[in-house]
Amino acid sequence: MIGNLDHATLQHLWWLIVSVVGALFVFLTFVQGGQTLLLTTAHDDVEKKLIVNSLGRKWELTFTTLVLFGGALFAAFPLFYATSFGGAYWVWMLILATFVLQAVSYEFRTKPGNLLGARTYEAFMFINGSVGLLLVGAALGTFFTGASFTLDDYNRVTWLHSLRGLEAAFSLFNLSMGLFLVFLARVLGALYLCNHIRHEDLHERLRRAVVINMVIALPFLLYVLVRLVTMDGFAVDPASGQVTVESFKYLKNLLGMPVVLIMLVAGLLLVIAGVVMTGKGRSTRGIWPAGVGTVLTALSLLLTAGFHGSAFYPSAVDPASSLTIFNASSSHFTLTAMSYVALAVPFVLAYIACVWRMMDRRKFTTDDLESENAKNLY
Amino acid sequence: MLESIDWSQVNWSRGQFALTAMYHWIFVPLTLGLSFLLAFFESIYVKTGDERWKALTKFWMKLFAINFAIGVATGLILEFQFGTNWSNYSWMVGDIFGAPLAIEGIFAFFLEATFFAVMFFGWDRVSKKFHLFSTWMVAIGANLSALWILVANGWMQNPVGMVFNPDTARFEMENFWAVLGSPSALSRFTHATSSGFVLAALFVVAVSCWFLLRDRHKLLAKRSIVVACVFGFISSVYLAGSGDESGHIVAQAQPMKLAAIEGLYDGEVGSGLNVFGILRGDKQLDDDQSPHYFALEIPYALSFLANRDINSFVPGLRDLVRGNEEHGIISVEQKMQNGRQAVSALAAYKAARKNGDEGAAQTALRDFRAHEQHLGYGYLTHPEQAVPPVALNFYSFRIMVALGFFFPLLFAVLFYYTLKSRLAHTPWLLWLGVFSLFLGYLASQTGWIVAEVGRQPWAIQGMLPVGVATSNLTTGAVQTTFWMFAVLFTILLIAEIRIMTRQISLGPEEE
């Protein structure tokens, strides 16, 4: 069946798959958000230990999803991988550096002999959850605002801004996207911790954090949405491959793809529902609607960037150099082979969900900090 | 296509890749092997129900986790570095190289990440059997991830299953199974993973010997040594076998690498294998002086290793660079001419397509196809560039092989002494056990030096030189990230070693 799909269908399928992985990553940034709550919401070492260990059971999923996002882009849209990573050098290097810091922090934080002290590793986690996510958001923003690169006849990239990608953070749209991501992650982090940990005092503060961070995130979200539907976009003619600037392009995309528009609206409503359930109500299950909502919202944004005849990585200086799902993709053969591989994804998701349920059947409490297994804790 | 190469930037990017790869490979082999040892230890615990085996498993698991975290951290940079520092490479071969990386993510990383949490935190949250299952899944996941990245590396050593598409100016995959099943890929996988098993066994042996020297945790140490020695011995025998097979495959796919490894300048029929020698520093490609001050050789062995025939011809560096008509070897000069022809035909093809001149495009394409086999050589500026650094390969290879013979012997002796209950009273052997861990790291790192430096100047053997594979960056930018990672990884390594040694001195939780 897969073998009979034409190239354009496969290119759409792979943009969808990459977008789903990206959207799952955005949901899983509750780990990063939770890391920043360590500094603002935990009052003592016991609470810190609860939060770190609760997140510590999930951080690798987020990390792995980021790696898969990179790997899937490499396999399916290698020209994006080459152009963005090789071009926007500094933004990616800094993002990666914050994830390197994160990767050791859980394991090293409280171990004797850790050289830098617990506070430093907590600072690493904070940097990852703040600076790291801000830059990820800014980089995602360039899917709409474009970046300053050109490609030559052999598709080699030249970056025209000396900040090599960091300039993205100085656009109000990209910056808003980044800040929205940072505060959304904090909302999700607080929702996840409310669901995963049983601890009265901490719960009260986490509920407050859910509401406060959502309130802070809203203006950035509104700005992003208003700009998105009013801004010029980069349209591609699939037949000729020509890229042109078109006014209200992304509004047209949303109206032209009602399913995506419904996903966006439903996604945002679900996030708000999750916030209200846990932030205002007494439920601890707000993470689920908010999580599903986050995935739908992020997915709809990524699909708006790449589908409906749009250039998903536009060049703001030379529209002809812009990347589309057509000119940036792998060959028909590779996309077909990779589609067979992708059949394993539901299976992978299933065992992750199964293990997640099994491990979280019992809530995480201060008893766990004293259990037989306590010496294994972070 | 390529007007000027900024070699200083290329070399700093190579340096950064080497730095991150070598750091990564400090931690990965331990993950590969220790994960299986954990699975063995825990299987014995579940089978016997002996709580002391559980304590033993948990002790090694703690060390595993410390090592795992930093392995993950260093691996992240490696993956994305293909894009950041080798963007032209990423575009030119992403169609083939990206696939194994994505598959690695889907099949291996999630397996590792998901079950690692169960293995480490699930002792009191899941059943005994499911916990054991999780530990096995971590081991399988870790080794599967090695499979895919080594398939990718094997393909770089011996590119197969692809075709060059002149319209997109890149290589595209034509046969997935050829990429996956290439002998280079499989030999890289078996050789690298079994080297990881050996290193992990050496790690367990070293820590256990240390305990015995300190007269602590004796039961744990002895039990660990027995399992590690069996695993280490079997793995090191297999390692030697896969090393021999690797040598044979290198001879077929990368004769220049083999010649550099051997310091062989003039090819011979019935060539001997250099066991040890000292290279002359002033040896030039075309002079007639012997390449070695002295050399100890096993007659005919190189011919047998290379071609499985003691009377076969093994070409030397001079044959490969200058050509050897008698043995049908084309000179690098000739390949460079063909390559330049391919490069200019490609440019002509693209220009003709742009102008809509199909006739001229087809003529240029035929010209390109006739010479594309040597496309990569078109970017070299002089023939000697095709020779990888000889001394680094020569000595690295000898260190690796010598240690490869030493390890099985060490495991056998340790095993024998443990069974005879004499190990605890044989301090010299215990010290040797401790010290051998460093030899394990040395062998492991030199092995990768041979694999990667031996491939120079190619990013993709014969197809894409490193100078063309790189990103358009300034030297300053790459220097900055080089030092950033050098400092960061060094600090983290020091922290890791301190934590590790502290955990070792704390010992297991209960006995």
pLDDT in tens, B253-269: 999 999 999 999 999 99
Q: Stretch B52-60: mean pLDDT, rounded? A: 94
Q: Stretch A214-225: mean pLDDT, rounded? A: 97
Rounded to two decimals, the ipTM of the complex is 0.92
Q: How many CA atoms lie within 13 A of A201 on its CB side?
A: 10
* Under 8 Å between Cβ of A111 and B62: no
Give the whole-angstrom CA distance, residue A188 versus residue B255: 56
* Under 8 Å between Cβ of B455 and B221: no
How far is residue B11 from each of residues B156, B382, B450, B462, measured CA to CA in Å?
Answer: 19, 18, 18, 19
Give the whole-angstrom CA distance, residue B383 versus residue A341: 42
* Under 8 Å between Cβ of B501 and A113: yes
Measured between CB atoms, which of B76, B94, B173 is closest to A82? B94
Query: Which phi and psi angles does B86 have, rounded to 5°?
Result: -130, 55
Q: Which residues of B are less than 8 Å from A321 in CB distance? A: none
Beta bridge partners of A157: A151
The span from the first CA to the last CA of chain A, in angstroms, equals 47
Q: Compute the count of residue pairs across chains A and B with CB atoms less than 8 Å apart.
A: 265
Selection from B235, B260, B228 nearest residue B415 by Cα: B228
Closest approach of A310 to chain B, Cα-based (Å): 21
* Under 8 Å between Cβ of B320 and B255: yes
DSSP symbol at B2: -
pLDDT in tens, A16-66: 999 999 999 999 999 999 999 999 999 999 999 999 999 999 999 999 999
Query: Which phi and psi angles does B269 have, rounded to 5°?
Result: -85, 135
Interface of B with A in 305-334 (CB under 8 A): none
Sort B18 into a burial class: Cβ within 10 Å, 0-12 / 13-18 / 19+.
middle
The span from the first CA to the last CA of chain B, in angstroms, equals 67
Give the whole-angstrom CA distance, residue B328 versus residue A22: 52
Give the whole-angstrom CA distance, residue B215 versus residue B202: 19
With b meaning 16 or more CB within 10 Å and e meaning fewer, what string describes A238-266?
eeeeebeeeeebbbbbbeebeebbebbeb
Instruction: Judge: A74–B124 Cβ closer than 8 Å, yes or no.
Output: no
* Element at A320 (helix H, strand E): none
Which of A227-236, A286-295, B106-115 is least confident?
Answer: B106-115
Closest approach of B438 to chain A, Cα-based (Å): 21
Instruction: Judge: B83–A108 Cβ closer than 8 Å, yes or no.
Output: no
Chain B residue closest in CA terms to A59:
B113
* Under 8 Å between Cβ of B339 and B371: yes
One-letter amino acid for residue B486 of the chain: A
Q: Which residues of B are less than 8 Å from A365 in CB distance? A: none
Q: DSSP string spanning A239-307? A: TT--EEEETTHHHHHHHH-HHHHHHHHHHHHHHHHHHIIIIISS-S-THHHHHHHHHHHHHHHHHHHHT
Beta bridge partners of A244: A235
pLDDT of residue B510: 59
Measured between CB atoms, which of A85, A154, A355 is closest to B118? A355
Query: Which phi and psi angles does A157 have, rounded to 5°?
Result: -90, 140
Continuous H helices in chain A: 7-28, 30-40, 45-56, 59-76, 78-80, 86-87, 89-108, 118-127, 133-145, 172-196, 200-230, 249-256, 258-275, 287-306, 332-342, 345-360
Chain B residue closest in CA terms to A86:
B84
> Where are the strands (E) in B176-322, listed by range?
268-269, 273-279, 292-298, 313-314
Q: Which residues of B are less than 8 Å from A103 in CB distance? A: 69-70, 72-73, 76
Selection from B397, B423, B36, B379 nearest residue B235 by Cα: B36
Q: Which residues of B are less than 8 Å from A112 in CB distance? A: 499, 502-503, 506
pLDDT of residue B511: 46
Instruction: Judge: A113–B473 Cβ closer than 8 Å, yes or no.
Output: no
Instruction: Judge: A352–B114 Cβ closer than 8 Å, yes or no.
Output: yes
* Under 8 Å between Cβ of B392 and B14: no
Closest approach of B87 to chain A, Cα-based (Å): 4
Q: DSSP string spanning B449-470? A: HHHHHTTTTEEETTTEEHHHHS
pLDDT in tens, B258-312: 999 999 999 999 999 998 899 998 889 888 898 999 889 999 999 999 999 999 9
Helix axes B390-419, B218-253, angle to 10 degrees: 150
Measured between CB atoms, which of A72, A89, A100 is closest to B77? A100
Interface of B with A in 168-197 (CB under 8 A): 168-170, 172-174, 176
- Res. B3 pLDDT band, cuts 50 70 90: low
Interface of A with B in 160-189 (CB under 8 A): 164
Interface mutation target, options B20, B31, B84, B93, chain A, most CBs of A under 10 Å:
B84
Interface mutation target, options B77, B471, B482, chain A, most CBs of A under 10 Å:
B471
Give the whole-angstrom CA distance, residue A275 versus residue A289: 9
For chain A, give the number of residues. 378
Instruction: Judge: A82–B172 Cβ closer than 8 Å, yes or no.
Output: no
Interface mutation target, options A116, A333, A354, A361, chain B, most CBs of B under 10 Å:
A333
Measured between CB atoms, which of A70, A75, A159 is closest to B80? A70
pLDDT in tens, B367-410: 999 999 999 999 999 999 999 999 999 999 999 999 999 999 99
Where do the structural domains in chain A lie, given as residue ranges? 2-209+310-369
Both tokens of B196, joined, read 């990881």
Interface of B with A in 351-390 (CB under 8 A): none
A279 in reach of chain B (CB within 8 A): no
Residues 6+ positions from A239 with CB-CB distance below 8 Å: none
pLDDT of residue B306: 92
Q: Which residues of B are less than 8 Å from A31 in CB distance? A: none
Q: How many CB atoms lie within 10 A of CB B416?
A: 12
One-letter amino acid for residue A58 of the chain: K
Interface of B with A in 70-109 (CB under 8 A): 70, 72-74, 76-77, 79-80, 82-88, 90-91, 94-99, 101-107, 109
Q: How far does Cα A70 stand from its chain's mean position?
A: 12
Give the whole-angstrom CA distance, residue B69 versus residue B61: 12
Q: Which residues of A are less than 8 Å from B511 in CB distance? A: none
B505 in reach of chain A (CB within 8 A): no
Residues 6+ positions from A360 with CB-CB distance below 8 Å: A196
Q: How many CB atoms lie within 10 A of CB A53?
A: 21
* Element at B170 (helix H, strand E): strand B170-173
Instruction: Judge: B472–A96 Cβ closer than 8 Å, yes or no.
Output: no
One-letter amino acid for residue A56 of the chain: G
Instruction: Output the CA torsion sign for B301, B306, B308, B313.
Output: negative
pLDDT in tens, B204-257: 999 999 999 999 999 999 999 999 999 999 999 999 999 999 999 999 999 999
Closest approach of A75 to chain B, Cα-based (Å): 4
Interface mutation target, options B2, B80, B92, B493, chain A, most CBs of A under 10 Å:
B80
Residues 6+ positions from A115 with CB-CB distance below 8 Å: B491, B494, B495, B498, B499
pLDDT of residue B4: 66
Q: Stretch A306-311: mean pLDDT, rounded? A: 95
Both tokens of A280, joined, read 């205002």
pLDDT, chain A, mean: 93
Q: Which residues of B are less than 8 Å from A106 in CB distance? A: 69
The pTM (predicted TM-score) of the whole model is 0.94
Instruction: Judge: B472–A156 Cβ closer than 8 Å, yes or no.
Output: yes
Instruction: Output the CA torsion sign for B253, B254, B255, B259.
Output: negative
Interface of A with B in 350-369 (CB under 8 A): 351-352, 355, 358-359, 361-362
Q: Which residues of A are less than 8 Å from B116 in CB distance? A: 60
Q: Stretch A137-161: mean pLDDT, rounded? A: 92
Give the whole-angstrom CA distance, residue A224 versus residue A184: 13
